[in-house]
Amino acid sequence: MRRVNKDAYYMRMAKVAASRGDCLGTRAGTVIVVDDRIVSTGFNGAPDGVTHCSDGGCPRCEAKAEGIIQSGENLDKCLCVHAEENAILSAARHGIRLSGCDIYTTVQPCLGCLRQIIQVRANRVLYRNEYPLARSTRVAYDRLCRESSLTVSRTGRRSRAKEVRMDDSLDAFQEESGDGSGRA
């Protein structure tokens, strides 16, 4: 059996983190790596101490699940913490240095998370599924990446965000990846 490369390994761990997510839409997971060690993980869902989305905690999640709103609408009504935010805030809470880190996330960071990632001085971001960005947001996104010299790259085959089911396993992820390398 071939040994999995590091990027595939860390992306698999991000997928496992996503399985803890409680968003009723897309579940996302993030792993932050410093000096080739995982120093923080995060998943999306309600903030600590707030009612979980699955228990009615986020009105936007409920409206989206009921088909009242579409993906990308009413984002200002969302109570959820994104996976990248959760991982960055968790590291900060525990005094962990993130400068020079690599971030592996199952869904491309939104513009807000991208700003936070730049602010912690990450080296690069690898993501699996694209986040739907409006054209005007894409212009700002690309500018931030260019001016900050942050490398943001997509890995894998998916083109749109896909919900990660609780029963997803690493074996299914490896089968989906083909040769076990995590690359298409």
Active site residues: 84
Q: Which residues contact 109 (CB under 8 A, 6 or more apart)?
A: 82, 84, 103, 117, 125, 127, 131, 152
Taking the C-alpha atoms of residue 41 and residue 71, their distance in angstroms, rounded to an integer, is: 25
Q: Do strands 29-34 and 37-43 pair parallel, antiparallel, or not at all (unpaired)?
A: antiparallel
The three state secondary structure string of 70-121 is CCCCCHHHCCCECHHHHHHHHHHHCCCCCCCCEEEEEECCCHHHHHHHHHCC
